[in-house]
Amino acid sequence: MTELISIKNLTFKYDEEESNNVLNDISLTVNKGEWISIVGHNGSGKSTLAKFFNGLLTPSEPNVVKVCGFDTVFEDHIWEVRKQIGMVFQNPDNQMVATTVRDDVAFGLENIGIDREEMLTRINWALQKVKMENYLNHEPHRLSGGQKQRVAIAGIIAMRPSVLILDESTSMLDPMGRKEVFETVMQLNKDDGITVINITHDLEETILSDKIIVMNKGRISIQGKPGEVYKVNDKLTEAGLELPFSLQIQTNLANQGLEIGSVCLTKEGLVNELWKLKSQT
């Protein structure tokens, strides 16, 4: 397994005068091709942690944050790191920078000096990947929220990053927009091996992850496979999180000795079934 991100005992505060750390003793790894969910309530430190992934924040000690083989201490190798990590943010409207979809996807490529022929190849490839190839000349502000986020994703993947980070990227979308974005990202993860880090406050979004990292008050309170994390109900409640609705129903039925169809699945069983579905898509 290739390790893309490794964090060891990271502690951080924005202001030295502050009494509390924003991040406390964080250790984690992200391997190539994985789908990781970082979940926690507002202010638990998720976005701050993500800033260490893409080098917006860097540690002052060596061997604490390594991204794509580079130690980011004191901003060493920061441009190489930023090229490898693409981020899609919450508000689709803030991410559209041009007057057509084509120019929007071209924006980042122009900034890094990609030649015209290669640029057109990458724009077409990226828009096909997010199923927006028929919208080349459309004005971004006329698109739906889900379509805007897919164009934002196209702009990122056109830069060929190793890791795609979604920072609450579906929280402003309706259920259809959310589904569109997740289907797109799932395909990119499966077909193109793009590593995905989904930052969310909603456990519902974590069900298909390889690993879930639960944040609470700047600390990692649990990390593991979905089946392992969903079992630790008290830690989830402590972190202000609710089990995915499908699991709540399943658990309630099982507690009453009832079954769905002929098979009554455990939480782990349900996750396995969903995982199988994911690998068949």
**What is the binding site for ligand ATP (CB under 6 A)?**
14, 22, 40, 42-48, 201
CB 26 → ligand ATP: shortest distance, Å?
12
What is the closest distance, in whole angstroms, from the C-beta atom of residue 52 to ligand ATP in the complex?
10
Torsion, Cα of 53, 196, 32, 4 (10° steps): 0
When the beta carbons of 43 and 69 are compared against ligand ATP, the nearer one is 43
Query: What are residue 213's DSSP bridge partners?
Result: 38, 223
**Min separation Cβ 46 and ligand ATP, Å:** 4
Taking the complex as a whole, the smallest distance from the CB of residue 258 to ligand ATP amounts, in Å, to 36
Nearer to ligand ATP among residue 45 and residue 55 (C-beta) = 45
Residue type, 210: D
Using alpha carbons only, give the angle 198, 39, 218 rounded to the nearest 5 degrees.
120
Q: Are 112 and 159 spatial neighbours (Cβ–Cβ below 8 Å)?
A: yes
Between CA 198 and CA 204 the distance in angstroms is 12
In angstroms, give the least distance from the CB of 54 to ligand ATP: 14
Nearer to ligand ATP, 47 or 95 (CB): 47
Residue nearer to ligand ATP on the CB measure, 147 or 206 = 206
By CB atoms closer than 10 A (0-12, 13-18, 19+), residue 223 is middle
Query: Of 14 and 245, which has the nearer Cβ to ligand ATP?
Result: 14
Distance CA 147, CA 132 (A): 8
